[in-house]
Amino acid sequence: MFRRIIAAIALLGAGAGWWVTAPTYLPRADEITLMAAAPDAALGEQVFWAAGCASCHVPPDTAETDTPILSGGQAFASDFGTFYAPNITPSPEGIGGWTLMQFANAVQAGISPEGAHYYPAFPYTAYAKARHEDIAALFAFIQTLPADATPSRSHDVGFPFNIRRSLGGWKLLFGEPDGPELQPLSPSTERGAYLAEALGHCTECHTARNALGGLNTSLWMAGAPNPSGKGRTPNITPAALDWSQVDLMAYFTTGLTPDYDSAGGKMASVVQNLARLPEADRMALVDYLKALPPIANQQPASEQVR
Partner 1 sequence: MKLKRVLTMTGLAFGLVAGTAFAAGHDGPPPAVKARLGLMANFAYNLGVLGEMAKGNTDYNADVAAVAAANLAAFSATDQSLLWTAGTDTGSISGTRALPKIWEAKADFNSKSADLAKASMTFAAAAGTDLAGLQGAIGGVGAACGACHKAYREPQ
Q: Which of residues 172-211 bind partner 1 (CB under 8 A)?
A: none
Give the three-state DSSP class for 294.
coil
Residues 6+ apart with CB under 8 A from 122: 110
CB of 82 to partner 1, least distance (A): 18
List the one residue from 260, 280, 300, 301 that touches partner 1 (CB under 8 A): 260
Measured torsion, CA atoms of residues 39, 42, 48, 54, in degrees rounded to the nearest 10: 110
Cα separation, 124 vs 126, in Å, equals 5
226 lies in the binding site for partner 1 (CB under 8 A): yes
List the one residue from 95, 107, 263, 285 that touches partner 1 (CB under 8 A): 263
Q: How many residues bind partner 1 (CB under 8 A)?
A: 29
Phi-psi region of 191 (alpha: psi -120 to 50; beta: other; left: phi over 0): alpha
**Pattern 229-258, partner 1, x by CB under 8 A:** xxxx-------------xx--x--xxxx--
Residues 6+ apart with CB under 8 A from 6: none
Of 187 and 264, nearer to partner 1 (C-beta) is 264
Helix (H) / strand (E) containing 50? helix 41-50
Cα separation, 182 vs 125, in Å, equals 20
Of 14 and 275, nearer to partner 1 (C-beta) is 275
Q: Burial level of 252, CB count in 10 A (0-12/13-18/19+)?
A: buried
CB of 290 to partner 1, least distance (A): 17
Of 187 and 229, nearer to partner 1 (C-beta) is 229
Determine the longest span between alpha carbons in the chain, in angstroms.
75
Closest of 232, 236, 247 to residue 302, by C-alpha: 232
Of 12 and 305, nearer to partner 1 (C-beta) is 305
305 lies in the binding site for partner 1 (CB under 8 A): yes
Of 66 and 114, nearer to partner 1 (C-beta) is 66
Cα separation, 147 vs 150, in Å, equals 9
Cα separation, 22 vs 245, in Å, equals 45
CB of 173 to partner 1, least distance (A): 29
Choose one: 149-157, 182-190, 222-230, 292-300; the region binding partner 1 (CB under 8 A). 222-230
Cα separation, 202 vs 163, in Å, equals 27
Q: Kindly report the backbone phi and psi dihedral angles of residue 80, in degrees, each rounded to the nearest multiple of 5, phi listed first.
A: -100, -5
164 lies in the binding site for partner 1 (CB under 8 A): no
CB of 224 to partner 1, least distance (A): 13
Choose one: 166-174, 186-194, 271-279, 289-297; the region binding partner 1 (CB under 8 A). 271-279
Of 131 and 266, nearer to partner 1 (C-beta) is 266
Q: Which of residues 13-72 bind partner 1 (CB under 8 A)?
A: 61, 63
Binding site for partner 1 (CB under 8 A): 61, 63, 226, 229-232, 246-247, 250, 253-256, 259-266, 268-269, 271-272, 275, 305-306
